[in-house]
């Protein structure tokens, strides 16, 4: 039951949701407004804007009251948030995730974001990493760097996936501890959960069964990094936290057909088929595996949110809580990029894990939710691809 004014402009303004979405799903509107208030508080938005949103919420029903309480709880943490002049190191800033996190930090007013390109700093080299930390003294670290790739790259280069990632995680965590970093956020990946674990995947399922063979090397290295965060917490009292993002996509993605993940690969395939006038678009495997996709700017929001608010040994899933089959994904991308095309499945290519949907209950309980739905995210990613000629 709603009373008072309708949910209109303030919610639209703060959440970016359309009015139609808010009116059809006021719970979501309010929840996202509460989450936004949370961000606003953390990122130095004008306090008056936060208070105006809270005052507005006061005028709506019981749902509003619930969101209000959640929002107020978060604003109470205002003083605990990371000061805007903090030195924050984002490792892997040129990649899909790192660049989105840098965009988010800049938008939130953080002025001292530290980065180092591969030429400047080889993260596999402990001495070099240690020197860099001694010189730069990062207070916070968002550790994103790592060697990543799709199903084919993982099959072709398992030794590199294992060595590079083991080394990169070991050097960064060790340096962060030695140089007294206040807090570090480490990103795992949904593909490090056991292949056949129950769905949706809860955080505690990690290491409860065998891994998917097509990305075992990568997963072993990522698990080592995640467990290192827990070990440093236990032994040295470090504020090292970890989060587990689902499959990501967005601007800055890798569109190389040999090494990319499915979503950018299909954008490229449909686009090139359209240019060449060929009707058929080849999609690997059977089309039946299911995947969850999160727009990378939503992940960046979640990372800044967690760095500000979360401090627990237990890793935390970041996703949308919704998945689609690869066949449905191909259909959706085809509708946007090249509607008259026809999908042809190539059964000689592997399917990989049948399904990996994250349980995002813990993250939702903290009031965080994604805001970019798959269709909108594909449109934005395709736009970026067109503007950048697929160069990454
Ligand atoms: P995964 O999530 O670790 O399995 O990695 P991918 O994103 O590479 O693959 C996800 C699913 O999409 C697998 O079942 C692939 O076989 C399927 N797929 C279909 N077409 C493609 C394609 O063109 N490239 C990639 N990378 N995967 C594809």
Write the CATH number for 165: 3.40.50.720
**Residue minimizing CA distance to atom 17 of ligand 1:** 284
Give the pLDDT score at 151. 86
State the distance from the centre of ligand 1 to the C-alpha of 292, rounded, in angstroms.
12
Mutate to test the pocket of ligand 1, among 194, 284, 351 (most ligand atoms within 8 A of CB): 284
- Catalytic residue (choose from 56, 110, 140, 218): 218
Torsion of the alpha carbons at 45, 49, 50 and 51, rounded to the nearest 10: 140
Strand partners, 356: 291
Task: Output the CA–CA distances (angstroms, integers) from residue 60 to 3, 75, 257, 365, 367, in the order listed.
Answer: 6, 19, 50, 21, 18
Neighbours of 344 (CB within 10 A): 12
390 lines ligand 1 (CB under 6 A): no
Which 3-state string (H, E, C) describes 277-320?
Answer: CCCEEEEECCCCCEECEEEHHHHHHHHHHHHHHCCCCCCEEECC
Structural domain of residue 68, as residue ranges? 9-79
Strand partners, 187: 243
Tokens of 128: 């070099």
246 exposure class (CB count in 10 Å sphere: 0-12, 13-18, 19+):
buried
Helix (H) or strand (E) holding 15: helix 9-15
349 lines ligand 1 (CB under 6 A): yes
CA separation for the pair 311, 345 (Å, rounded): 44
Residue 70 shares a structural domain with residue 89 = no
Are 147 and 166 in contact, with CB atoms under 8 Å apart?
A: no
DSSP letter for 201, please: B
Residue 147 shares a structural domain with residue 172 = yes
Kindly give the number of the ligand 1 atom that is closest to the alpha carbon of 356. 2
Give the pLDDT score at 91. 98
CA separation for the pair 378, 302 (Å, rounded): 19
In a domain, 339, yes or no: no
**Residue minimizing CA distance to atom 14 of ligand 1:** 351
**Helix 158-178 × helix 216-236 angle, to 10°:** 10
**What is the phi-psi region of residue 137: left when phi exceeds 0, alpha when psi lies from -120 to 50, beta otherwise?**
left
Residue 135 shares a structural domain with residue 213 = yes
CA separation for the pair 20, 360 (Å, rounded): 25
Kindly give the number of the ligand 1 atom that is closest to the alpha carbon of 352. 4
Tell me the pairing of strands 140-143 and 87-91: parallel
In a domain, 177, yes or no: yes
264 lines ligand 1 (CB under 6 A): no
Residue 140 shares a structural domain with residue 179 = yes
Residue 66 shares a structural domain with residue 100 = no
In a domain, 389, yes or no: no
**CA 173 from chain center: how many Å?**
20
Mutate to test the pocket of ligand 1, among 262, 282, 291 (most ligand atoms within 8 A of CB): 262
Tokens of 112: 């001292």
In a domain, 69, yes or no: yes
326 lines ligand 1 (CB under 6 A): yes
State the distance from the centre of ligand 1 to the C-alpha of 272, rounded, in angstroms.
18
In a domain, 285, yes or no: no
Buried/exposed 179-218: b ≥16 CB within 10 Å, e otherwise:
bebebbbbbbbbbbbbbebebbbbbeebeeeebbebbbbb
CA separation for the pair 190, 376 (Å, rounded): 22
- State yes or no: is 218 an active-site residue: yes
Residue 48 shares a structural domain with residue 175 = no
CA separation for the pair 46, 14 (Å, rounded): 12
End residue of a domain, out of 62, 79, 96: 79
281 lines ligand 1 (CB under 6 A): no
End residue of a domain, out of 42, 60, 79: 79
Torsion of the alpha carbons at 380, 115, 101 and 34, rounded to the nearest 10: -150
247 lines ligand 1 (CB under 6 A): yes
In a domain, 343, yes or no: no
250 lines ligand 1 (CB under 6 A): no
Q: What is the pLDDT along the chain (392 residues), one digit of tens a residue?
A: 333 334 445 566 666 777 777 666 666 666 666 666 554 444 444 444 555 555 555 444 444 444 444 444 443 333 358 999 999 999 999 999 999 999 999 999 999 999 999 999 999 999 999 999 999 999 999 999 999 988 889 999 999 999 999 999 999 999 999 999 999 999 999 999 999 999 999 999 999 999 999 899 999 999 999 999 999 999 999 999 999 999 999 999 999 998 899 999 999 999 999 999 999 999 999 999 999 999 999 999 999 999 999 999 999 999 999 999 999 999 999 999 999 999 999 999 999 889 999 999 999 999 999 999 999 999 999 999 999 975 54
State the distance from the centre of ligand 1 to the C-alpha of 326, rounded, in angstroms.
8
State the distance from the centre of ligand 1 to the C-alpha of 176, rounded, in angstroms.
34
Tokens of 355: 């399904």
Residue 31 shares a structural domain with residue 56 = yes
State the distance from the centre of ligand 1 to the C-alpha of 331, rounded, in angstroms.
15
262 lines ligand 1 (CB under 6 A): yes
Tokens of 26: 């006021």
Please count the structural domains in the chain: 2
Residue 107 shares a structural domain with residue 160 = yes
Residue 173 shares a structural domain with residue 307 = yes
End residue of a domain, out of 23, 57, 79: 79
Residue 73 shares a structural domain with residue 94 = no
Residue 23 shares a structural domain with residue 144 = no
């Amino acid at each position: 039951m709603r009373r008072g004014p309708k949910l209109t402009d303030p919610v639209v303004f703060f959440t970016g949701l359309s009015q139609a979405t808010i009116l059809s799903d006021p719970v979501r509107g309010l929840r996202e407004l509460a989450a936004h208030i949370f961000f606003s508080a953390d990122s130095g938005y004008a306090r008056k804007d936060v208070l105006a949103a809270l005052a507005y919420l006061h005028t709506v029903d019981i749902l509003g009251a619930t969101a209000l309480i959640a929002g107020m709880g978060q604003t109470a943490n205002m003083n605990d948030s990371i000061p805007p002049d903090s030195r924050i190191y984002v490792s892997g800033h040129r990649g899909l995730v790192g660049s989105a996190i840098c965009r988010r930090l800049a938008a939130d007013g953080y002025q001292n974001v530290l980065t180092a390109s591969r030429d400047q700093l080889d993260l596999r080299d402990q001495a070099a990493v240690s020197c860099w930390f001694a010189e730069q003294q990062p207070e916070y670290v968002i550790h994103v760097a790592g060697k990543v790739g799709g199903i084919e790259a993982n099959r072709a280069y398992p030794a590199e996936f294992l060595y590079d990632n083991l080394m990169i995680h070991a050097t960064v965590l060790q340096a962060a501890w030695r140089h007294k970093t206040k807090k570090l956020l480490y990103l795992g990946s949904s593909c490090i959960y056991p292949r056949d674990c129950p769905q949706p995947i809860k955080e505690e399922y990690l290491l409860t069964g065998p891994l998917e063979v097509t990305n075992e090397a990568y997963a072993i290295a990522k698990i080592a990094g995640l467990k290192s965060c827990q070990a440093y917490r236990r032994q040295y009292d470090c504020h090292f936290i970890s989060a587990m993002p689902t499959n990501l996509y967005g601007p800055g993605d890798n569109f190389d057909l040999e090494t990319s993940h499915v979503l950018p690969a299909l954008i490229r395939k449909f686009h090139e088929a359209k240019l060449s006038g060929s009707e058929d678009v080849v999609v690997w495997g059977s089309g039946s595996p299911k995947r969850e996709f999160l727009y990378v700017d939503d992940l960046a929001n979640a990372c800044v949110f967690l760095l500000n608010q979360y401090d627990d040994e237990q890793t935390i899933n970041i996703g949308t809580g919704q998945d689609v089959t690869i066949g449905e994904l191909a259909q959706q991308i085809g509708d946007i990029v090249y509607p008259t095309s026809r999908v042809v499945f190539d059964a000689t290519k592997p399917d990989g894990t049948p399904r990996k949907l994250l349980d995002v209950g813990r993250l939702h309980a903290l009031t965080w939710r994604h805001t970019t739905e798959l269709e909108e995210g594909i449109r934005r990613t395709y736009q970026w691809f067109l503007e950048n000629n697929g160069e990454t």
